[in-house]
Amino acid sequence: MSEGELIPANPPRKSRARKIFFSLLVVITIGMAVERVWYHYTYPYGWSHACSKGLALGLLGYAGDHEHWLPHGEPTPEASLSLLYKNDPVTGQWVLGGKNIRHETVEAILKRDGKLSPDTCGWNYVEGLRDDDDPQIAVAWDKVVGLGHNGERQPGLMHEVVFCGSTGFIAKNYWPEFIADQKKRLAELIVSRGSNAPPIRWSDEESLGPNRPIRK
């Protein structure tokens, strides 16, 4: 090598390590952002386990303690459903908010008031039923549309439905047929009820139609 010739310098190892570190950081940041977007789309109200099966079992437990009657008698169907909390506080505070109301919110309201309002209960509820009524009559279903068992978005799904002791999923294209069948079954049950029986009424008047005036 001739005198005065410059020798190329290798980049310091620290500089290379820094570049690799920042590249990995960018990849991780982008990955986390994508995951957040996916999560919020897939679980619009967050992951939940306001279990429909837990609600079905809770209703059966309540009926077993109340001569076969499911919760009833409060000012609104949602307030009546809240009676599950008095009967079984653990199940009540975890399931009554459904998939769209945070558990912490529901727990605080139940501990303070003992009852949920139409805005704080995540279930539509049909009250005035017994555990020995027609088992094909739905007792409750989600207020929000298109959510699976854990609150995940499911295109084509209308509601998860709770019967007395069982649950099921109703697709959007089958919902009108399902509601027509429910109206028929409820009308037959209402006619068969004695005059002194608790009135049958529901929170989902948009689907089932307006409630009949309560006889006094």
In tens, the pLDDT along 70-119 reads: 999 999 999 999 999 999 998 888 999 999 998 899 999 999 999 999 99
Q: Which band of pLDDT confidence, cut at 50, 70 and 90, is reported for residue 47?
A: confident
User: What is the helix (H) or strand (E) element at residue 202, kind and residue range?
Assistant: strand 201-202
CA atoms within 13 A on the CB side of 98: 29
Q: Which residue has the tokens 């509820």?
A: 125
pLDDT of residue 57: 92
Say if pTM beats, i.e. exceeds, 0.75.
yes
Using alpha carbons, list the distances in angstroms from residue 143 to 22, 32, 188, 195.
46, 31, 25, 30
Chain center to CA of 21:
42
**For range 14-32, the mean pLDDT:** 62
The length of the chain is: 216
For the chain, what is the mean pLDDT? Answer: 87
- How far, in Å, CA of 30 to CA of 34, rounded? 6
Q: Which phi and psi (to 5°) does residue 81 adopt?
A: -60, -30
pLDDT of residue 2: 53
Alpha-helical runs (H) found in 43-170: 52-65, 77-81, 83-87, 89-95, 103-113
Closest to 99 (Cα-Cα) out of 135, 52, 162: 52
